[in-house]
Amino acid sequence: METKIENATNILSKVTGSVFNKEGQQQLLITLDEPIIGYQLERYTNSKGELYGEFTLFDNRIITVHQRKKIHAILSDIVNSSGDGKNAYDIKSIKEDMKLIFCKSKGIDEFSTSELTGDCTVTVASEFITFLLDFCLEYGVPLSDPPIELAEDLKHQLIMCLYERKCAVCWQPGMVHKVTTTGAKKIPGRHEVMCLCSNHYQEAESIGHKSFADKQHVLGILMNQEQFMKLKNTR
């Protein structure tokens, strides 16, 4: 479960060494981009004199062939759904436009998704695919490939489907249903939900929610009462 840290400072750093101590714990030597000022260290130190932080690793590998194929497939679907053929965009200009909007929204430099330049990392490619899929979901762009197979961040996609009221499996209009797919214990005020069209809901009911989730590679989203009410009041 995601934890929201209210008071935190993010500092870019580079791992410049790694050793194991006597207890077998790995210790990393981290070189910070800019120093942490003394009073900042004091501010984050708890009453026991301890200082905690979270360490995030960036995936610096270069975009995979599979990711490039996904981007091309989604962009083709966007082109095919854009207009009557006369004013239709070509894939290159759609790609440039989408990249520009994406980079602006993320506050990052423009990147290239071609193999040779290699300035697009796996992480950025993954976020770009998620961005394109969100666009398709919001504007009802029909996809040639099953949406689940294109997903890079499945949980995010399933949540988006709930808010857009689109079936988690086929992206046809759907309804929010209470499901039991995760095996999570029933707790009052906690709901496990999934958006499903009538066909897929019928399938889930007939073969059982758990078998349905395994077969379709989907999963119910757990929500607390507040999140569930917010979802219900959307639309």
| Positions that interact with Zn ion (CB under 5 A) | 167, 169-170, 172, 197, 200
Q: How far is the CB of 71 from Zn ion (least distance, A)?
A: 24
Nearer to Zn ion among residue 73 and residue 148 (C-beta): 148
Provide the CA 189 distance to its chain's centre, in angstroms.
26
Nearer to Zn ion among residue 53 and residue 173 (C-beta): 173
Q: How far is the CB of 147 from Zn ion (least distance, A)?
A: 10
Q: How far is the CB of 169 from Zn ion (least distance, A)?
A: 5
d(C-alpha 58, C-alpha 51), whole Å: 23
Residue whose Cβ sits closest to Zn ion: 167
CB 111 within 8 A of CB 102: no
d(C-alpha 157, C-alpha 101), whole Å: 20
Which segments of the chain does DSSP mark as H helices, in order? 38-44, 65-80, 91-106, 122-139, 147-150, 154-164, 198-207, 209-216, 225-232
Nearer to Zn ion among residue 124 and residue 169 (C-beta): 169
Nearer to Zn ion among residue 111 and residue 212 (C-beta): 212
d(C-alpha 198, C-alpha 212), whole Å: 14
Q: How far is the CB of 90 from Zn ion (least distance, A)?
A: 31
d(C-alpha 168, C-alpha 139), whole Å: 16
Q: How far is the CB of 220 from Zn ion (least distance, A)?
A: 15
Nearer to Zn ion among residue 123 and residue 172 (C-beta): 172
Q: What interhelical angle do 198-207 and 209-216 show, nearest 10?
A: 120
